[in-house]
Structure formats: C-alpha cells, structure tokens
Chains A and B, each alone.
Chain A
Amino acid sequence: MKVLIQNRAFFWSLVLLGCNLGCTGPRDKQMSEAEAAIAWSHMANHITRNTPANSPTFASRAFGYIGLCMYESVVNGYPDYRSMAGQLNGLAELPLPRSGQAYSWVLAMNAAQASIMKSIYQQTSDENILQIDSLERSIHEHFSDTLNLEVANRSVAYGRELAAAVYEWSKTDGGHRGYLKNFDKKKVHPDRPGCWKPPLYAQSFSHHPLHPDWGGNRTFVKNNRELPPPAMIPYDTVPGSPYYQQFLQVYEKEKTLTQKEKEAALWWGDDPDVTFTPPGHSYYLATLAVESKQPALIEIAETYAKTGMAVADAFIKCWEWKYHYFTERPNTYITQFIDPEWESFWPDPPFPSFPSGHAIQAAAAATILEDTFGDRFTFTDRAHEGRERDELRDTDFAIRSFNSFWEAALETADSRFYGGIHTQHDNQTGLTEGVKIARNILELQWKNP
C-alpha cells in the first residue's frame, strides 16, 4: 500500500511538472491534498536546480520562505496549530483570513506556493515561470471543480496576499536578490597563515569567496542569532599537532578511498550548477518522509516549514562562522605541508572550510525530520538516480538506503571528508551545531498548548 501511494505521488509530480508540454492531465485521477503539497515541493527543487547562478546559501533561504509560506497559507484552517507570526525574528504579523468565511486551504496553499516561488526566484527563466503557472492552474482546477466559485476566489486571494506579505518581510533579511552579489570582488579578506585561499582545483571560476556577508543575514529564529562560534583547532604546521593531524587524516583517507566512499562523495556533492544544492537534498528527504507517511496537509506544511527554516538558519550561522575563522581547505594545507602533488577527490567549493555547510544543514534537517517521523525511518534516496556516470572519477551515482535520517546526515558529513574538501573537525562541528540550530526551530510554539 505504501508503495502504491508513493507511486501515486510520483505520478502526480510527473503529470503536473509535465503539463507545460501541452497535456491537461487525466481528469479521472484523484489528487489528494498531500499530493498537491508534494507536487509543490518537487517544483521548488525543480526551480532550484534549473535557475542559473544559484548557490547553497541563496537556495537555503528560498526553501526557508517557501516552506514557511506553505505552513502559513494553511495554518489558520487548523485550530490546533499556531502561526509563526509574532514568533519569528522581525515577523510581527501576517494577513489573517476573514473570520466566519469559508476557505479551501489547499487552494490557498496552491496560490501561495506559486506566488512565493515566482517572487523569491524572480531571476528564474520564463520557461520556469510558465511551469509554475501551469502547476498552479492544474491543482486549482482539480480542487475547485466542485467548489463554490466565491470560496475558490477568496482562497486564492488569501494565498496570494499571504505570500506577498512573506515576500515583503523576506526583502529585509539581507539575502534579497542575493544571486546578484554572489562574489564581492571589492571585499578584502584576512591573509594570516591558515587562511582560505582561492582553490586551484575549483568548482567555480570565482576566486572570491561566496557570499561573505551571508552570516549577517537575519535568522528565522532569534535564538539562532545568539549561538556563539564553535571552537576551532589552532593553526599549526608541526607534524603531530592536532591541526596537522586533521589534514593528515584527509590525506590518508584519500589514498584508501573505497568505491562506496567515492560514491558517497559524488552523491552528496549536490553541485549548485547542476543540482538542487544541499538544501534541496534536505527538502527532498523531507518529501520522501511525507510521501511515505501521507500525513494531513498541515503536517506536511509544518515539515517543510521546519526543514526549510532550519536549513536556512544553518547556512546563515555556518557562513557567519566560516567568515569569522576564514580557514583553509585541505588542498591548501596538504600541498604546503604534506604532499605538494596532492589533489582532493572532489573540487573545492569557493568559500572557507570551517565548519562544513553540508554537515550543519544535514544535521539540522535530520533533527527536524526525526522529531516529526521518529528516529527509525527506512528510506531509499534516489535524488541522483540515473545521472550520467562520472567518468573522470570512475564512479557511478548509486542510490542509497538508510535506516534513519541521522544516518543520512552522517554520510553527508563524511562524504566531504571522502571528497577531501573538509576535515573531520569541520564535519563534526557542523553536525553538532546543526542540531542546536534545528532545536531552536522546534522550540517555537507550533501548536496551541
């Protein structure tokens, strides 16, 4: 039965995503509210992947607002649940539905998702905008078929009003249209020993680090702003020193990488130029959970809101600390002090090392998802299934199965160690801090007492 439902959700995603190709979708097929919400999560990942100049930082922010917007567009239909207005950093209020009037919450959600995606991702292509419109139209037609026209219109209007309010609030967080300033060419960075250097084996052509001011952006939750920087191991070039040992571990690991470890390094790469970025991967894992459990619309929206905001805050804090310490990558240290000919398995991203962004956001997402779905959840991650084999590294994109979200988070963190672009200290700190950040999201008043 589970398999059947999963297939149905997948079927709808395909139909809805494919609608811009001219089909109208089979009328006889029933779509659940859950499927409508899940279709939007697929759309969010589709836009994230297919919008040029995207970055893990900007993408994390987008998922934060898209998730929150889904939650806020339906929360007033569920008396047990509480709005985030008045709870989030600088979000005093949000539009309320008119009391005593009937609403279709799935239609409000549908309109709000389309609206927020087109605002946050205003830089996406016209083709992608058409796909968003097309999905909105399909879902709207499906759920308004037997509905009073006035109710339908009122719901759509409310969804749009709400999305507009969330978008207005987003503009003041420091990340608005952040894709226009990915690399600040004027900014001068520290140049102490152990500082980050532009990579020679690079993921990006930029020799300036990505989003140096991102750490100053407004966090969704005030408590996350207050989190102090985690401790970094002091710089040292003496063999045997803790700092040296961190890099020696990376160096030695790279020499003995198993095929499985190479597959993990490749799988979690989530290169923003060709994939939905690491935040997209976390959003995808949330989707796997809701596809499997098929909870009520509000619970789905809550899952996306929590996951999106936890990952967004994780990136803000991570970037704050990355630029606080501005530490080098293994490719810089190892070639200087261990082996001048060494090269990492995976190319370096264009920003400092400590702590690991992959680890911190994976831990944040896993903490949210375990809180909602429990610490035993078996799933298969097919995010990159069917991608062309990496000939250069002689490695396939092999699907992965896990028994818990935390297991997946650990592999995400380890994968950067296998890739030779993070030390284990970067990863462990990322995991620890990611949990704290997510807990601050979970501590918000999601339900009425």
Chain B
Amino acid sequence: MSPAKAQILLIPLVLLIHLGARAQATFTDVTRESGINHVFEVYEGTFGGGATVFDINNDGLEDIFITGGMAQDALYLNQGNGIFRDIYEESGLTPSKGFVTQGAVSADVNRDGYRDLFITTINTSAGDQEIPRAENLLFLNNQGDLSFTDVTAEYGLKDLNSFSTGASFGDVNADGYPDLFVGNYFKNFEGQLGIIKDATIVSAHQTAEAYLLINKDGRSFKNATTDYGINHKGFGFGGVFTDFDNDGDQDLMVNQDFGYKAVPNILYENCYPGKSFMDVSGETAMDLKINAMGAAVGDIDNNGLLDYYFTNIKFNMLMVNHGRGKPFTDEAKERGTHSFTISWGANFGDFDLDGDLDLFVANGDLNPNCVPMGNFYFENNNGYFTEKGRMAGINDYGIGRGSVVFDMDNDGDLDMLVVNQKPLLNYPVESVSRLFRNDTPGGNWLKVALKGTQAEPNGIGSRVTVVSGGERMIRETDGGSSSHLSQNSVIAHFGLGKNTTVDTVIVNWTGGKEQRIINPEVNSLLTITENPDEKGNSVFIVALLCGVLALLGIVYFFKRKQPATSR
C-alpha cells in the first residue's frame, strides 16, 4: 500500500475518532472505588430518596448527603482523589435515625458562611404510628467542623407534622435569607396526633397543603403559605424556585403526582416586591395533568428563556419557553426526549462540554413490582436530543430516584450521583446508589461560584450568564427539589467547546443587582463575590424611580380630571 493510499484511508478514521471524542461524554461507574455504599430502603412503594450536594467544610471539594429512607442516611465527605468517606455517625445528624427520610436540600440558613441541611421525612422510624407523619429536620452546620446541630425545634419546625417529599430553598422576598418550600403528599397535621378515630385514618390519604416557610433573619421559620397566596392542595412532590419570566425574582413551579385526577402542576409567579404569589398555571399551560415526579431547569437552545423537563410515569414532558405572555409547549416528542418509562430524577448539564445542555434522566419502577429500566442520557444537538445512555455508560438498571450533578474531582466536567432504591422483591440486577465519573475527553469549560454578601451566600436565587463565542448561556443556582427530591451543585457549570475565551460573565443577584466580569480565565473556577456597595445604589435608584412614578401619577391624575370637568 502506498503511503498516499494509507493516508486517504486514515483520514476518515481520524475524523471518526475526532468526532467521537468531541461529541460523546463517557461515564465510568466509580461507586465501589469511591467508597460510596448506599441504597435507599422504602417505607412505602414509591417514595424516596434524594441527595444534596454541598461543601460542608468549604475545602473546595463538594460533599454529599443522601437519604436512606428506612435505612441509615449517609454524609459522604469528599476527600479528594475520588474517595468519599461516610461521616454520618460522628456528624451530629444521627437524630435523623428516628425518621423515615425522603429528600434533602441545603443552603446557608443563618448566613454564617456554612451550608446547613434540611431533610424531609414521612414518618418516624419506630413505625408505631397509626398514620405516618413526622416533622422535617433542620440541622445547622457547626462552622465547618464536619458536624451539625439539630435545630428543628428552635426554628419552629417541630409542629409541622407532614408526609413531605421535595423541599427547596429560595429567597422569595430577596432579603438574603433562604426561605423554604416543602411539598407534602398526604394531608398534614398540626402538632401531635391525639386519639385517632377511624375518621382520622380514612382522611389521612387526602391531598396535602404545601409549606412556604419564610426565614426570619436566620433565626427561625414562619409558615407563611397562605399569606403568600399559596392555597393549593395536591399530592405534592415539591417545587422548584425558578425565574421563568426573566423578571429577576423567583417564581415557583410545583410538581404534583396524579395531576390528571387530583390537582395538576402549578406555576406561581412571584409578585415581588409584593409578598405574594399568583397562580399563572393556566395561561402558561404549565398546569400539567401528569404524575410529575421531578423537574430539570435549563435553556436547551441558549435563547435566554428557561425550559423545563418534567419526569412522569410513561412519558416525560419537555416544556419549551416561548417568552413572556406565551404558553409553554410540550416538545418532548419532536425534540427526542419522549420515551416510555417511569422517570424520577432529571438533570440538565453540559456533560460533553460542547456548549449546550444535555439531559440525564433517572428511571425506576414502582416497588414492590419492579421491572428494570435503564437511565437515559439525552445528548443535545442544537436543541434536539438523542438518547445515548448505553453508549455513555450511564444506563444503569437500578431502581432510580433522585439524581445530582456536581464536579466531584474538580476536573471541569459534571459527574453524576443517582440514588437507587432497594428492590422489595426479586430483581435481576443489583440496585444500589451509583456514582458516575464523567471522563469526557474534550471541551473547555468555566465554573462560576457565587458569594452573596447580601444575596443568599451561595447565590441561591441568583442567575449566571456566560457570553462566549456568540452564545449566551444561562444557569440558575439550584436551590433544590430539582431532579427528584434532590439538589445539584450550586456552582454554575458551563461547557465552552472549542472556545478558549469568555467575553463576559453576568451575575443577576437576587433582588435585581447586576454584576459583570470581563474576560475571565477559562478552564477554571471563577468565584464572584457580590459587590456590597451596589445595594445602596439600587435602593437609591428604586427610591428615585418611585418618586418619579409618583410624580407622573399625580400629573396623569390631574390631566385626566381636567377634560372630564370641562365636558
């Protein structure tokens, strides 16, 4: 064979290798070697569990808390080198042993610079209650010494006797203290149950009210659900705080099971600075009548509008945002994310670092009658998706529930943890929680961590926009109840593909302030601290605007009155 001929044959081969390297994320199951040894045990068929990603000692390595349901919860300290150590027993979190836990979420509740932990529960683990209900648990981080203190009672959460699922932190009133939304599945009870009559038992499986708990200066929570106009009931799976209409405040997207029969999903628009939410489910067509198990938030086509993926039984929905005043449309089928399964967790992330958001979906059947269903990995190509779970090595057949993305090894790509349930009956494959390391070969990246000085300290409620190579990519800081009962890393992650520069990073802090960083270094973690001076300015501007508006109002009032009297 002549050298020329060999070259011609080699070209397509090289091209193939190159394309493959560019387009395909490859995951490696590192569960065993990482030291993660976890499975969620159900109390009742379908419920639980979830995980939250948080750096408990601010060492730059993100740690994980995973709920165990009937089994023990786990707090995995990331020790670097891909090794995790379960420090639950010595962490001060052991009061959670008394409960059947479900989901977990984290934020800096008291603004001391350390991530605190909120765990939802459905019952006490003693199992001696006629009606399964329990309080949810709040633990304060003891300033990074790897331990926590149970402050459930001090923070006023003890009497909220609920069957809770997903919780999320968000700053609904933009005061810098993270508030909580808690989804409840079955009817709540206030305080301890006294004498239980048959009537109490039969009413226990009715739909529940949710909780909106307002953080009072980091010292307690106040139940302000109805004060804020949140009056729905439903078989709730929690809600995601997200700014769907790009007006700078946190709206609330509520997921509900059995929407076709009980109460559908609800989208609440935040009326900030007014202290209320308005139900806009109808006009936005977000009143989905499905078994909404979870949701992922992401702008799938980088058009500046956040789209939402809802997991469901049978067919998931991809609700595409067409801008303010226009209803969302389900484009799951045409965009390729429509597959028959039972889905729970879902996460948008640029796993292959090519500048668009791919989608991971955790699938799992309903205990006790379980058929294995592999997880999905939908690769994004110009807003259209192709399922490549098997090729990506992430189509595990465990009984999937919550899933979280984070960069476990700080190598710039997104790794994945999936919480799996223990099968109650015979099951053909092993079902344990899985850690997948992303070994994607290519692409530049940028990670952005926010340090709020007035906004929530991790930037929960704030938004990051990256402008690079003519693309604008937006990320919201995940406050939880995304995926299913879980919370992703709060560090915003951007794949840049072949771009080696970023023009601008824009931060829209909760409350309306904007901050820009020009030309940051790529392939690195950029930490942006909120500029504290601007708060005064913005207050001044708001005051000035109010003054001008008032003046205009007076002028308008008189102008209208004149012709009326002269007629």
Contacts and interface: CB of A to CB of B under 8 A. Distances in A.
Tell whether A and B belong to one assembly: yes
Interface of A: 51-54, 122-126, 177, 179-180, 185, 197-198, 200-203, 205-208, 271, 273, 335, 340-341, 343, 347, 392
B369 interface: yes
Contacts of A185: 44-45
A335 B369 CA distance: 17
Interface string B278-295: 000000000001000000
Interface in B206-262: 206, 235, 257-258, 260-261
A51 B200 CA distance: 11
A179 B202 contact: yes
Contacts of A122: 198-199
A198 B366 contact: yes
Contact of B206 (A52, A201, A208): A52
Interface of B: 44-46, 197-199, 201-203, 205-206, 235, 257-258, 260-261, 289, 313-315, 340, 342, 366-369
A184 to B, nearest CB: 12
A55 to B, nearest CB: 10
A340 B201 CA distance: 38
Contact of B313 (A51, A180, A200, A273): A200
Contact of A179 (B198, B313, B368, B369): B198
Nearest to B333: A341
A123 B204 CA distance: 12
Contact of A125 (B203, B258, B313, B366): B203
A347 B260 contact: yes
Contacts of B258: 202, 205
A125 B199 contact: yes
A124 B199 contact: yes
B202 A53 contact: yes
Contacts of B205: 52-53, 205
Contact of A340 (B260, B261, B340): B340
Given A52-B205, A201-B313, A123 B199 contact: yes
Highest count of chain B CB atoms <10 Å: which of A51, A53, A54: A53
A392 B314 CA distance: 17
Contacts of A208: 45
Nearest to A58: B202
B45 A200 contact: no
B526 to A, nearest CB: 45
Given A200-B313, A392-B289, A207 B45 contact: yes
A208 B314 CA distance: 19
6 interchain residue pairs of minimum CB distance:
A123-B198, A53-B202, A123-B202, A52-B202, A52-B203, A207-B45
Contacts of A201: 260, 313-314
Given A52-B206, A200-B314, A202-B258, 4 more contacts: A179-B201, A198-B366, A205-B257, A347-B261
Contacts of A123: 197-199, 201-202
B77 to A, nearest CB: 36
B363 to A, nearest CB: 13
Contacts of A340: 340
A51 to B, nearest CB: 7
Given A52-B206, A123-B199, A177-B198, A198 B369 contact: yes
A125 B198 CA distance: 9
Residues of B contacting A: mostly = loop
Nearest to A197: B369
B330 to A, nearest CB: 14
A124 B200 CA distance: 9
A126 B199 contact: yes
Highest count of chain A CB atoms <10 Å: which of B205, B261, B340: B261
A203 to B, nearest CB: 7
Contacts of A200: 313-314, 342
Contact of A207 (B46, B289, B340): B46
A26 to B, nearest CB: 33
Residues of A contacting B: mostly = loop
Nearest to B235: A205
Contact of B198 (A180, A206, A343): A180
Contacts of A347: 260-261
A198 B261 CA distance: 17
Nearest to B287: A391
Contacts of A203: 261
A271 B260 CA distance: 13
A353 to B, nearest CB: 16
Highest count of chain B CB atoms <10 Å: which of A122, A123, A179, A347: A123
A207 B314 contact: no
Nearest to A195: B369
Given A53-B203, A123-B202, A125-B203, A207 B369 contact: yes
A185 B202 CA distance: 17
A216 B198 CA distance: 23
Contacts of A180: 198, 201-202
Contacts of B206: 52
A179 B342 CA distance: 29
A123 B198 CA distance: 5
A325 to B, nearest CB: 18
A348 to B, nearest CB: 11
A234 B520 CA distance: 70
Contacts of A124: 199
Given A198-B366, A198-B369, A203-B261, A343 B314 contact: yes
16 contacts: A52-B202, A53-B201, A123-B201, A177-B198, A179-B201, A179-B202, A198-B366, A201-B314, A207-B45, A207-B366, A207-B368, A208-B45, A271-B261, A273-B261, A343-B314, A347-B260
Contacts of B235: 205
Contacts of A207: 45-46, 366-369
A208 B315 CA distance: 22
A341 B368 CA distance: 24
Nearest to B312: A200
Contacts of A202: 258
A17 to B, nearest CB: 20
Contacts of B197: 123
Nearest to A391: B289
A198 B425 CA distance: 14
B374 to A, nearest CB: 16
B100 to A, nearest CB: 14
A125 B204 CA distance: 12
B385 to A, nearest CB: 18
A200 B312 CA distance: 10
Nearest to B262: A273
A365 B261 CA distance: 28
A188 to B, nearest CB: 8
Highest count of chain A CB atoms <10 Å: which of B197, B314, B342: B314
Nearest to B205: A53
A392 B289 CA distance: 8
Contacts of B203: 52-53, 125
Contacts of B46: 205, 207
A330 to B, nearest CB: 15
A181 B289 CA distance: 29
A124 B342 CA distance: 36
A122 B197 CA distance: 9
A177 B198 CA distance: 8
Nearest to A271: B261
Nearest to A198: B369
Contact of A392 (B199, B260, B369): B260
Highest count of chain B CB atoms <10 Å: which of A122, A203, A205, A208: A205
